[in-house]
Amino acid sequence: MSPTLDQIREHFSGPGLALSVTPTEHAAKGYHLDVSVAPAGIVPAAQALYALGFGLDAITGVDWIAQNEMEVVYDYFHPASPLRIVVRSRAPRDNPEFPTLSDVFPGARWHERETHDFFGIRFAGHPNLIPLLLPEDADYHPLRKEGAP
């Protein structure tokens, strides 16, 4: 039941699904496949990976202040095969908005709330995008890079 790396690559080879698909060395990076998608491709990618039996590992943001971009990184693990997939997507920094994954992976709700807390990234369609780890009235985003470290 475990998919091979080639199968997954094939999945992303369709037009418009992924911007780039890079196989990586697990020993060097800690994952096997690095997939870049446009924000619109996040949900289809998640659906494809869920259909292949992947589970959602984590969602995290990275603030690329030099490139003026916000990146969201989705990690997936497979319970049966030793495969780790990273899906990443970028949006302009002044309007960071990505579609929510919560319809595919309900577990994404908390990860997205956390990412919203830390980076101010909005997830369109999220049912309940309120602070998770920060206080209810927090109006700051601690991991954004413009503030002093």
Partner 1 sequence: MSAPLKIEPATGSGETFVLNLGPQHPAAHGVLRVKMTMDGEYVMRAEPVIGYIHRMHEKMGENRPLAHFLPNTGRVDYLSALHYNHAFVGAVERAAKLEVPPRAEFIRVITSELNRISSHLVWWSAFLLDLGGFTPLLYAFDDREKILDLLEGLTGSRLTYCYFRFGGVVEDLDPGFAERTRKFIAEMRPRLKMYRQLVTDNIILRKRLEHIGPISPDLCLKYGATGPVIRGSGVSYDVRRAEPYSVYSQLDFDVPTFPESDSMARYLVRMEEIVQSLRIVEQALDKLPDGPVLGKVPRVLKLPPGDYCYAVEAARGRHMVRIVSDGKEAAYRLKLRTPSFSNLSLFEEASKGMLLADALALMGSLDLVIPDIDR
Binding part of the chain for partner 1, among 14-22, 36-44, 50-58, 90-98 by CB under 8 A, reads: 50-58
Query: Residue 109 interacts with partner 1 (CB under 8 A)?
Result: yes
CA distances from 53 to 20, 25, 109, 133, 143 (A): 22, 22, 19, 29, 32
Site size with partner 1, rule: CB under 8 A? 40
Contact with partner 1 (CB under 8 A) among 9, 36, 69, 107 = 107
Instruction: For the sheet with 20-23, list strands across it.
Output: 20-23, 33-37, 84-92, 69-77, 55-64
From residue 16, how far is each of 12, 117, 126 by CA, in Å? 9, 30, 24
Binding to partner 1, residues 15-34 (CB under 8 A): 26-31
Which residues contact partner 1 (rule: CB under 8 A)?
26-31, 50, 53-58, 60, 62-63, 73, 75, 77-82, 84, 86, 105-107, 109-110, 118, 131-135, 142-143, 149
